[in-house]
Each structure stands twice: as structure tokens, then as C-alpha cells.
Amino acid sequence: MKPTRTAICGFGLRGRLFHNIYIASQLSLLWRNQPIDESPRHHDYFDLQPPTEGLGTAFQLSSDAALNTALDPPISSINKEGLSTEQIRRIDRLTDLAGRYAELAMKDGTIMPRLLESNVAAAMIFNSASSSSRTGELNLNTGVACGPRGLIGEAAELMTEEALKLAKEYLPWLVIRVRYEVVVSNIDFSNPGFPVLTVVDVKTGEEMTGIDFVYNLVIKCTGTTFEIPVSGEVKENAFTGVPNSIDLTTYLTQQKIFDNEKKKIIPGKKLLIGGTSLSAFDFIGMIVTKTNIVEFNHQTRTFTINEEEAQRNQNLITLFNRTEGIFGASRHLPNSVTNLDSDLVNPEMILSLGLQKNADTYPTILELARILTAYKKQKLPSQIEKNISTIDQIEYMAAENELLARNPDAVTEIALFRKWIRCCVFTHTMGPDQVQQRAWLERKYNHLVRSHGWLNFRTMSYNIYHRPGIEEREHELHCHARRIAFNCIAATPYEIHNLITRLYKLGVVSWTQGAYEDVVWSSKTKKFELKGYQVDGLIAPRRLTQKTDMLSEKILKQAKRLKVGEPRYEKGRFLKNPSEEYLHLIDLGFTGHGIQWYDTNAAEGAFQLMPIVVDMIVILETLISDTNLKGDELEKPVNELLKLHKSVLPTNQEFNQQINRMEEPHRNITHMILYARLVEKVFGNGKSFARKMRQGKTIGARERVIALIADIPRAQEALEEFERDWQNYKFDPVNAQEFERMTPDFSLEHMQAMKRIFEQRCHQGNHVPHLS
Ligand SMILES: Cc1cc2nc3c(=O)[nH]c(=O)nc-3n(C[C@H](O)[C@H](O)[C@H](O)COP(=O)(O)OP(=O)(O)OC[C@H]3O[C@@H](n4cnc5c(N)ncnc54)[C@H](O)[C@@H]3O)c2cc1C
């Protein structure tokens, strides 16, 4: 048995999850007395940041910005059968981000005073998420966004250290090396089975490559590439760093915005912040903390806005962006909406939407979300999520936030729209019994449902992106629809959003149209100017870019492409070279057109993906290590892995049995969407729309309404359109092979089955796999 060498580029959240899950699953094997192959496994981690910065672009230790999401519990797919309670606890701790975060947050009862000083937005969500138990102890609900992001960095750091310690104690054959402050600048795939890294030392600029950097496998998890959007004098005088309260105070002092004696921003001072979504919102809470605008009552644990102070700080913050109409959405989560059922659609109908061949699902799910929201709100679908100016968007969201503030059970439009988008992308379920519904769906359609929502999320774009000959127009339509959906998915916690829209209503926050290129710095006045508007400071949050991932550029140059600019990812996220050989790389970050966001959008996606990646690596390592396993074929371990995957797929007949059952739901939902279009055109007002939708819950019922519509002279054109579209409609589902190609990841279920087969094969050949 040979040693193997794996390089992990990027030691952010996904790199660390790989590290911890790998160790946890090996400990589980060991502690369950399963045989372990002890031939050396070298895992080298590379990260360009110093260890003092913590991880990644979101969870640096110094980040005082607020979390946007809930946190994940321990990975459940690690086998813990027969382990003692203490062993389970030790294994779970390695991946229990939620638990570790809560531990840190609640450690010494000092977090709230700290947050009230650094970021009132993080204090607000922490306050909402924490509640006192009967014994007076404070509990934290990690099922919602609940504090500052830096604490994730701290928790992840502790979890990594603990895993490393256990690995050293129990897994001597696992040789882990973490190298900080080194950039992986290139990977040479001249020999696709032996990638060679080029690594640059950040401090010295020294470039290293050659024999010491030859690996069997590489995982690329370098996260999302960001760029600082300003340069020259503007950059020198702007704040472009990690959202940290102390750094921000230093900047504001330097710009003479901050009164160091009063420890507050000087009323009348003005700031520009680039952007109108999450990264820009990160700073608002921190800036407001440096005024007297938000007050906290320690007895009642409530926040209030001091309107006089708001008056004194008019126009403190002006947000700007190049184009109109984009404003980060609010994450309304009232139970009244979460548990709302629908009498127009069911889970099978929603599931069927993603299975039509070559369809771009995003525009359809947006239309459906508009219809279902309009139906409930007695509006027209075209009135939902309209293309309106930014100011109108903010006004609209302010009204929605106010509604929820007055009544926590209110059914807001934002919440409804978000619910239906999430239902289509992640869960396919609705109503109060979502867990049972989902289990039923997974049982009935086990070949069509992926147990993890984020796998579906990726599939929904993969289908269209990887279609040969996709037109630029289709691509634009897809990106536009997806952007709207993303805005709802990655929304801002309600408490923070409400703070922002209230500050807007009070004149503290405003918006203007302008681009970074329009911003100038005057060294004479020591002020910035945007189209004639003068301000004292500029905050330029780092922005997502499609172009700055140099490592990807270099990798993709060596890979076969579907068409210019488009990499082609095979099942398992492998790339091939032009000679059709697999590169020994698992690329956890699609590139081009900004789609890295697919993999790096939320920690939850990483928690769903990384257990699968760990198993893939364990199988590949075993294949590479065990030279006797299958003679020559061993030269192509990726082919072996993919063969293994093929062996667990359903037969065409099994797949067709399930997909054919999708015809009726797909016909039904398509008919319903076409009917909704017809009804909107003919009746043109929200009340009638809702009434007609209520009357048309089945194809038969809709046909009866349509027969009556046929008598209305003004309805003829719309009716013809409906007839034409309905006659042209055909259920043309993907086949088993296309379905598999649509999702770049192995599903968890397939991976479990692959592991079982692989283990059996290894045991037959008297080999010891590192699997559970
Ligand atoms: C501003 C912001 C806020 C976010 N907020 C949330 C949130 O509230 N909740 C949530 O779930 N998700 C949030 N996310 C998403 C979050 O980034 C992901 O959940 C997750 O961190 C992605 O993990 P990763 O390992 O892919 O990337 P990262 O955690 O970013 O790690 C990538 C690592 O690779 C390193 N690296 C990059 N290039 C190289 C190279 N060439 N060589 C060596 N090292 C390299 C980087 O230094 C970094 O440490 C946020 C993202 C951003 C940008």
C-alpha cells in the first residue's frame, strides 16, 4: 500500500469542514473497532491568510458584522452506531458549528455589552435569538441568525484545533500540514493524475514548486473571490477593510467624522457606502452604533430609535449603486407564512418543475412565486416583485417591515415570495407538515429527489449552463431570474433590515444612483464627491467578482470547455483535459459568470457538500494507494469512482417509472401557470384574479372557467395565446443519464451506496478501506 498526497487549496469554512469531517469519520471507524489501513495519508492545506485572521472572506476573527443565516448542527451522516455517549460527543463537537457558537456566545455573559459597543445590528439579532429559561439561564436559538460573524471564525478555529489534536493522538497515519500565508498560484496538470502546485510565499514572494508539490489529488475550495472596488486616491482615503468596529472608528477619526472625546460620530457628517445589499448593510449597524440613535433598555431588553438623535444625524449614510432597482431583501420568517399550505400546488407539482428537459427553471419558479403570492394577497402576479426604482423598492420594503413590526403574525408579501422561491429551490414542501411531506416525497420519488436542498440549487443552473449551444439571450434571462431568487434566498435578518428601512424613513439613510468610477477624492477639501454630492467618508465593501480568481483561470485553461468561457464539469465536479482524461481535482467553486456564489453562498451548502467530498477522497485515496486492486485500471482512479457511481444508479426502467409519474403534476402546474396568465390578462385586478384562481384548482375546474371566458369578447386575444401555449405544451422529461448530468455532485444516498459496494469489493480482495 502506497502513501497518498492530497492538497487542499483554501483553509476557509469548506477546507476546515473537510479537515474535521475526515478526522471525525476516521475516529468513528477506529472507535467502532473497524479495520483501518494505516498507510500514510498526507493532507497539505494551503491558505493565503495568516492564522491570526481566521478563516475566509466572511468569518474572519475580526469581523463584527452580523450573521445572515442560521447555523448548522453536527454532520449526521457520520456513522456513530455502537459508540459510547462520550465518543459521540467528541465526534459531534468537531462539526457542531451551532453548538460551539452558542457555547462561545454564552460563555461569560459579556457578549451583549460587547455587541452594544461594536455593532447594534448584531446585538439586535442576538437579543431576538436569546431567551431566558425558567432557571434564569440565557439560551441561544441558533436556528436563526444570532450574533456576529467573527464568532463563527472563533468556533471554527477551536473545532479545527480540537480535530487536529485528536488526529495526532489517534490517527498517526494521517499527516496533516497547514501552511498559512501562501497563495496557490497555479496547478500544472500536464500529468492529470499527478497535479503539481505552484505556491507563492505571501511575505517573501518566493515561488515554490517541483517534486515537493506533486500530489495525487487536489481539492480547490478557495471560496469567493472578491475585489476592492476602488483604486488610487479614492482607495487610499476610503475604508475597504474587514467590517471591524475599532478599525472603523480609526477610519472615522482620521476622516474627522468621529469625536474622540464624546466617542460618537459628529452630527452633520456624511458617509457614502457602495452597494445596497448584504455587504453594504454590514456597515450600517456598526456606524449607527457610533451615534446615539439606537437605545437599548436593559430591563425590557428592547431597542428603540431616538428620533431626535436621528434628526441630528440626517443624511449620515448614503448608499449608492450603478443601476436602479436592486435592494437587498428582508428575511421575514413569520410562522403564519412558513406553515402556510397551498390549495393550488402540491409537492409533486413543484418537484416536476425541475425535470423538463432543457428547461430554465428560474424564470418559471419566479412566475410561480408571483402567482402564489398574488393569489394570497389578492393582487396581480405582475404587481409582485416588480421592476421598480430603488427608492420605490426601499419604500415598499419599509412598509413590509412596518407591517411585520406591528403584527408578528402578518402575512407579508416579501415573506410569501421568499417562501415560494425557497420551496421551489430547496424543499418542494409547504404547510405545517413539511418534514413528513419531504419524507413522503423522498420515499415515493427516491430517484428524483435529492435529500439536500443545496444540491438542487446547483442543479437548477447546471441544466441551463451546460446545454450545448445556449444562446446569450437565454443566459441573460437565466442570470436575471436567478439574481432575483438569490436576493430572496440570501436576505438580511428582519431586525437589521427593519432598522435600515426605519433609518431611511427618518432621513438617516438615503440612496443615490452612481458608480464607484464617479466617486472622486479632493485632497483640498478632504472630502469625497459623487456627482456633486460631498461627503466626509467612503466605505467601499469588497465585492464579488467573476474575474479575480486567477487560480481558476489557470486551471480552466488546461480543461476541456463546452464552449468559449464555459468550463464543463463532469459528475463529481471533475474536469477533463482535451484528451478526455480526468484531472485529479475536485473543484468546489464553479467559475465564470460569477457562479462561484453557488458553492459559497451559505455555510449550510458547505455542510451538505463536504461529507460527500470526504467520502470521495477516501475512496480515491484507497484506489490510488492500493496498487493491486485492479491492475491497470488503477491508473484511472477517477474512472473507477465514476464506475462505482454508475453501479448504484437506477436502471432506465426504474427511473422512467418515477419520471413518468411526474407527467400529471407537470401538466397540472403548467396548465395552472398558463391559466393564471390568462386570468390576469382578462380580469386585470387582484380580487378577480384571486377569485378565479380559487375557482380553478384542477385542470377540469379551470377548463370550466375558461369555457365561460370564451364568451367575453375582450378575452379573445388572451384566450388564443392560452390555447396556443397549451397546445404546444408537451411533457418532455430528462432521462436517467441527463438527470445525473444535471447535478454536478454525487448525492448523499448514492455516496452511501457507493461506500457499501466499495467496502465489499475491498474486503473480497482482502483490502482495508478507510470507510465506514
Ligand atoms: C461578506 C459575506 C458574508 C457572508 N455571510 C454569511 C452568513 O452570514 N452565513 C453563511 O452561511 N454564509 C455567509 N457567507 C458565505 C460564506 O462565505 C460561506 O458560507 C463559506 O464561508 C464559504 O466557505 P469557503 O471555504 O468556500 O470560502 P472561505 O471561507 O472564504 O475560504 C476560502 C479560503 O481560501 C483562501 N484562498 C483563496 N484563494 C487562495 C489561493 N489561491 N491560495 C491559497 N488560499 C486561497 C482564502 O484566504 C480563504 O481563507 C458570507 C459571505 C460573504 C462574502
Q: Work out the pLDDT band at 767, boundaries 50, 70, 90.
A: low
Q: Whose CA is nearest to atom 30 of ligand 1?
A: 56
Nearest CA to ligand 1 atom 52: 58
Q: Residue 454 CB: number of other CB atoms within 10 A? A: 21
Best residue among 19, 47, 486, 597 to mutate for probing ligand 1's pocket (most ligand atoms within 8 Å of CB) is 47
377: pLDDT strictly greater than 60:
yes
Alpha helices in 273-412 (DSSP H): 278-289, 307-312, 335-338, 347-353, 361-377, 390-406
Domains delineated in the chain: 4-225+549-648+744-764 (3.50.50.60), 227-328+496-543 (3.50.50), 330-490 (no CATH)
Band of residue 593 on the pLDDT scale cut at 50, 70, 90: very low
766 against 699, higher pLDDT: 699
Spatial CA neighbour of 257 closest among 536, 598, 635, 493: 536
**Bridge-partner residues for 530, per DSSP?**
519, 533
- pLDDT value of residue 466: 67
What would the grid cell of residue 590 be?
Answer: 464553479
Give the pLDDT band of residue 595 (cuts 50, 70, 90). low
- What percent of the chain is predicted at pLDDT more than 70? 95
Nearest CA to ligand 1 atom 50: 58
- Ligand 1 atom with least separation from CA of 601: 15
Nearest atom (ligand 1) to Cα of 224: 30
Best of 101, 222, 244 to mutate for ligand 1, by most ligand atoms within 8 A of CB? 222
What residue ranges line ligand 1, CB within 6 angstroms?
9-15, 46-49, 55-59, 67-69, 149, 183-184, 221-224, 278-279, 551, 600, 602-603, 606
pLDDT value of position 465: 67
**What pLDDT does residue 561 have?**
73
The residue whose CB lies within 8 Å of the most ligand 1 atoms, and thus the one to mutate among 14, 19, 55, 57, is 57
The average pLDDT across 140-144 equals: 95
3-state DSSP helix/strand/coil % of the chain, to nearest 5: 50, 15, 35
Nearest CA, atom 2, ligand 1:
58
- How remote is the CA of residue 65 from the centroid of ligand 1, in Å? 14
Residue nearest to atom 46 of ligand 1 (CA): 56
Rounded Cα–Cα distance for residues 506 and 402 (Å): 13
Protein residue whose Cα sits closest to atom 26 of ligand 1: 223
> What are the residues whose beta carbons fall under 8 Å from the beta carbon of 170, sequence distance 6 or more?
27, 30
For 90-113, the pLDDT digits (tens) are 999 999 999 999 999 998 888 999
How far is 771 from 757, CA to CA, in rounded Å?
11
Q: Rounded to the nearest whole angstrom, what is the distance from the C-alpha of residue 581 to the centroid of ligand 1?
A: 30
pLDDT band at 743 (very low <50, low <70, confident <90, very high): confident
- Give the position, in ligand 1's atom list, of the atom nearest the Cα of 226: 53
State the pLDDT confidence band at 770, using cuts at 50, 70 and 90: low
In this prediction, residue 216 has a pLDDT band, given cuts at 50, 70 and 90, of: very high
User: Can you give the pTM of this predicted structure?
Assistant: 0.95
Strand order in the sheet with 537-539: 509-513, 317-321, 271-274, 537-539
CA-CA distance, 124 to 120, in Å (whole number)?
A: 6
What does pLDDT average to over the chain? 92
Q: Tell me the sheet residues that pair with 574.
A: 570
- Which one-letter DSSP state was computed for residue 699? H
In this prediction, residue 429 carries a pLDDT of 96
Look at residue 464 in the predicted model and tell me its pLDDT. Answer: 72
Q: Is the pLDDT of residue 687 over 60?
A: yes
Which one has a higher pLDDT value, 198 or 549?
A: 198
Task: Look at residue 616 and tell me whether its pLDDT is greater than 60.
Answer: yes
- Check whether 592 has a pLDDT greater than 50: no
When pLDDT is averaged across residues 517-540 and rounded to a whole number, the result is: 97
Which grid coordinates are listed for 531? 456627482
CA distance 308 to 310: 5
Cα 99 to middle of ligand 1, angstroms: 20
Grid coordinates of 249: 472608528
Mean pLDDT in residue range 124-128: 97
Name the grid cell of 456: 438542487
- pLDDT winner (highest mean) among 168-182, 459-473, 596-610, 619-633: 168-182
Ligand 1 mean position, distance from CA 540 (Å):
19
Atom of ligand 1 nearest to the CA of 605: 19
Instruction: Please say if the pLDDT value at position 633 is more than 50.
Output: no
User: For residue 181, how far is its CA from the centre of ligand 1 (angstroms)?
Assistant: 16
Which residue puts its alpha carbon closest to atom 31 of ligand 1?
A: 12
* Per-residue model confidence (pLDDT) at position 14: 95
- Four-point Cα dihedral 500, 501, 507, 510, nearest 10: 80
Residue 391, pLDDT above cutoff 80: yes
Annotate 2-61 with DSSP letters as a single string.
--EEEEEE--SHHHHHHHHHHHHHHHHHHHTT-----S-EEEEEEESS-GGGEETTTEET
Probe target for ligand 1 pocket from 46, 185, 220, 224, with the most ligand atoms within 8 Å of CB: 224
Which atom of ligand 1 is closest in space to residue 544's alpha carbon?
53
What confidence tens digit (pLDDT) does each residue in 163-178 have? 999 999 999 999 999 9
| Rounded distance from Cα 700 to ligand 1 centre (Å) | 50
pLDDT per residue over 462-493, tens digit each? 767 666 677 778 878 888 888 899 888 889 99
Is residue 487 within 8 Å of 328, Cβ to Cβ?
A: yes
Q: Alpha-carbon Rg of the chain, whole angstroms?
A: 27
**CA 257 – ligand 1 centroid, Å:** 31
Atom of ligand 1 nearest to the CA of 542: 1
pLDDT of residue 78 exceeding 50, the answer is: yes
Element at 167 (helix H, strand E):
helix 150-170
User: Tens digit of pLDDT for each residue in 228-287?
Assistant: 999 999 999 999 999 999 999 999 999 999 999 999 999 999 999 999 999 999 999 999
H or E, element range at 585:
strand 585-587
For the CA of 600, the nearest atom of ligand 1: 22
